[in-house]
Every structure is written in structure tokens, then in C-alpha cells.
Structure 1
């Protein structure tokens, strides 16, 4: 019997084995197999479970119920609102525009939007809101301070020192302590109006108000139907010069109806009709005496 002699085994790996070994030595491939594959399997399990619409809806309802249970716990409930710094009328307006139905969860309160709503009131300059321990919604309000009464075609309104509307009023007599301005566009020039009113201090007892003309300049209205027509520019300095001249010559105490300073280089005055007639009579007498 003849022995079969086998060829010696080649120790070199096959082509596919060699390629697999080289691929395994690649860090990205090794990481994908050792970590990415198990992660993909783990993700595939819940993804397969959530593929059913009824299961997704049941899970969504369960999560919403748990969240609601947390949000409505007593420590998160707001039971009342405390407003500080507001007058009774503003307090009433705030409670009207924030119709909260207490108790309410603090998670259901949009404090930023509520603050913007409160600051939208004419009388409110700024507002701060926070939820205090004990379930109290605290609102701190800083109101606008009226500085003027503005008479416009729409009626009477209170303005603050920056010209912001504070509140409407029914009659001028409701705030006799505040100076009066009138005319369209007067609310846009309130700072200048306040400077004019301050400059008119020496004749303040005679001051009836300021009238905005053409939305560009002021008329100062005094008693006895007198007016000082101010220029578009340097109105305050011009008024101060008129008051200084009045202090020396008592110009405003005479029968003058209008002091026209719209052109500071050519000031003019308009006499009252009685004074004009008297002036003419004197001129006629002087002319007769000369003849």
C-alpha cells in the first residue's frame, strides 16, 4: 500500500481572511462593531415598539399625565396676586387685563408676556413680576407721573414729562394743578414745553398755557388774551428775553395783544383795538395842534 504524501500547508491567510484582518485593524471599523452595533440593536428595540401608533399614543398620554401631576402639586400652585405701587384705578385695570382664575399652576403662567401686557397700559411705566413662596404672584408697578394736561382734537389727556400718555380726563378742572398745552403734535415736544413753563415762572400767575402751532413752534398764552409768538428755534432763550424786557418796561402790562417773535431779528407787537384807536386819536390831536 502506497502512502499519500500531502503537500505542505501554506501558512499564509486567504485573500478574504487577510482583508478582514486588515479591516479589523482599522479603528473606525473596530469602534463601529464593538460600540455602534450594540447601540443600534438597543435603539432598534424601542423603535420597533414605538412603531405601533396605539403604543405611541398611550405613552404620550402617560407622560402628559405624569407632567400634569407634577405641575399641579401644591407647592407649584399660585393662589392669589398681590399688586404693589399701583393706585386703585390702575390696580383695577391690571386685574381686568389679567383675568387669572386662581388657583393656577405656576407652569401655566407666562410672566414675560404678562409683564408686557401690564406695561401696555398708559399709566404704567414699568412692571416686575415674580412668584413668591406661598403661592403669591407679586406684581410691582411703577406708574407714570402726570406733568401736563394736553388738549388735543381727541380730548383731554394727562402726559408725563417724556410726553407719554398717562390717562384721559373729563375736564380741565380735574387737574388744575398741572399746566396746559394744546395743539396737534404737542405731546411730541413736552420736554421743551416744560422748559418754557419753567422759564415763564416770573409771569406764572398769568400763564394760561402753551399752544403748539404747525407742530413746529409754540405760542405762550397769557390772561387778558395776550400771546407771545415764539420762533421755531431757541424758544426758551427768546421767552427769557421777553420776560426780562417786561421786568424793565412792564411791556406785558400794557395794551398789547400779541408779541410776535417768530422772526427774532424783527420783533413786532400788536396793540389792542382800543389802544390802536387811542393812538390814532392822539396822532390826530398832534396833527391838529401842528396845523
Structure 2
């Protein structure tokens, strides 16, 4: 049977080109660039946020309100009870030093721990002569803990104006002293520059242990050497170099000959090869008589 509509005409549709357009190609190539992706994903949002914030903050009233809100929140947080310091605990110090440290801290408590400059407080505490080192920390319970390393006095230093000061093993001042009888357990040194030679002084006192009950003190001479002063006004003149070794040799000689128990005014050890004894006048006359020297006309 033949169709009544006549012959069909088929129209061929043109094929679509799968290749991207020039604009699409450029955008695809640009999107493959790492820098562009970072700028688009990070830079663009940041720019938008910064622009919004800038527009909001451009008004002085809004800025003041924002600042006030932030300050109020900060103060409320810092002034919470768990952050308040109400006590100062001093450990490692004598009672007198502990009281001086509390006064030196100078904080009006209670105070927020955020308002305490620990470095500044530490510096103030370490300005005390008796404090070698200080460590500060805020403990739970509102306690400012001050850990002290106290300087221990090992010597008394008599100054030219007769003042007495206690020194530690490094020669650093610990504290003043009213009278020698307040610390009879500490050995005594005197003379200018004695504080910078504390180490040598301690070694000399250790070497003089056999006669230590007779030792009255050490005198620094010319800021370069020591004189060891004994009772009965005896003196041992020590050399500027190797003073401890010279004194140890004298201690050995005294142990063998009981030298310092005799009528000797001074023992001069400044010349290592030629030590010199200075006898008391009576002992000197007796020595001369023993040698057959007439002492009837000599002056005592």
C-alpha cells in the first residue's frame, strides 16, 4: 500500500564540534594553574571578608563598641576566681629573708595572674643581696610561689670604716652585720679587695686548720696578697703566688718543730727560697746570748 502523504524527506543535522571554544579553553588552562586555584579558593574569600570588615570598621562608633565589647569580655575572663592570686608563698629562705621578699614583691593582692609581670617581680626579688636565684610560678588555689636559692655566708669582711659584711663563697655581699659577736662561727677577712679573693681566703683557712683556734683573721695587703693574723700578735706573711702551698709547708714545719709556739712575732714566707723569722725582743736577746754576743747595750 502506497503512503498517502507522498515521499518523506530526511534532513541531516550538523554534527556538534566537541572541541571547547577559545574562551572555555583559556578558562580550563587557567584553572589548572595552582596559583589561580589558591587565589580563587583562599584569596577571594579573604578579600571579601576583609572588605566586609573594613566597611564595618570604617564607622568610629562601631569600632568603639567592638573594642569595648572585647575589653569587657577580656576583663571578665581574666578576673575569674580561678585566676585570682591572693597569697605569696616564699620557700627556701630564712624567716627574715622571706619577710623582705614579700615586701619586695610589692603586689596589691588579690590580683589577677594575668596582671602580674613575673619577670619584673623576679628581677626585684633578685636585687636583694641574700638572694642568689629566684623562680616564680602561679599555683592553683591563687598562690604565687617564690622559690629562693639563698646565698650562704662563709666569711665576714671588715671594711675600712669598720663596717662588717657577710660574704658568700663567690665574694658576693649577703648582708650587713652589727657586731662580730653575732656570727663568731665565720672567719674574718679585712682589707681592700678581700671580697674578690674570697676563694683563696677559704683555701688559706682550710690549710690553717691545725692552728685554726689561734687564727684571728686574714688581712688583704695591697690587693695582691694575704697576712694571716694569729693571737699573741703573731703574723704569717704569705706570698702573692702559691700562698696555700707556702702555708702548708709552714704547717708541716710547725708540727715538727712547734715553731709558732715560740716567741716569734712574724714568719715572712714572701720569698719561697728564704723564709724569715722575726723574733720577739726577749727571744732575740736570748738567741744572741746563746751565740756569745753581748746584749747588755742593746735596746729592747
Mapping 1:137-156, distance limit 5 Å: 137-153=144-160, 155-156=163-164
- After TM superposition, the score normalised by the length of structure 1 is 0.85
Mapping 1:100-115, distance limit 5 Å: 100-115=107-122
CA distance in 2, matches of 1:286, 1:190: 45
Structure exhibiting the larger radius of gyration computed from Cα positions? 2
Instruction: Look up the match of 2:294.
Output: 285
RMSD value over aligned CA atoms?
Answer: 2.8
Once the 2 structures are TM-superposed, how far is the Cα of residue 116 of structure 1 from its aligned partner?
Answer: 2.9
Task: Indicate conservation of the 8 Å contact 1:212/1:218, yes or no.
Answer: yes
CA distance in 1, matches of 2:136, 2:82: 18
Provide, for residues 85-144 of structure 1, a one-character-per-residue CA deviation record: whole Å limited to 9, x for no partner: 222211121122111111100111122332232222111222222222111112222322
Instruction: Look up the match of 2:6.
Output: none
Secondary structure of 1:266's match?
coil
Instruction: Look up the match of 1:62.
Output: 69
Task: Indicate conservation of the 8 Å contact 1:157/1:167, yes or no.
Answer: yes
Instruction: Look up the match of 2:241.
Output: 233
Structure 1 residues 277 and 53: alpha-carbon distance in aligned structure 2, compared to 1, 3 A threshold:
farther
CA distance in 2, matches of 1:148, 1:238: 22
Residue 92, structure 1, aligned to residue 96, structure 2: no
Mapping 1:39-188, distance limit 5 Å: 39-153=46-160, 155-188=163-196
CA distance in 2, matches of 1:107, 1:170: 42
Instruction: Look up the match of 2:7.
Output: none
Instruction: Look up the match of 1:213.
Output: 221
CA distance in 2, matches of 1:32, 1:126: 53
Once the 2 structures are TM-superposed, how far is the Cα of residue 41 of structure 1 from its aligned partner?
Answer: 2.1
Task: Indicate conservation of the 8 Å contact 2:238/2:268, yes or no.
Answer: yes
Once the 2 structures are TM-superposed, how far is the Cα of residue 76 of structure 1 from its aligned partner?
Answer: 0.6
Structure 2, unaligned runs of 5 or more: 1-16
- After TM superposition, the score normalised by the length of structure 2 is 0.82
CA distance in 1, matches of 2:99, 2:37: 71
The number of residue pairs the alignment matches comes to 277
Structure 1, unaligned runs of 5 or more: 1-10, 12-16
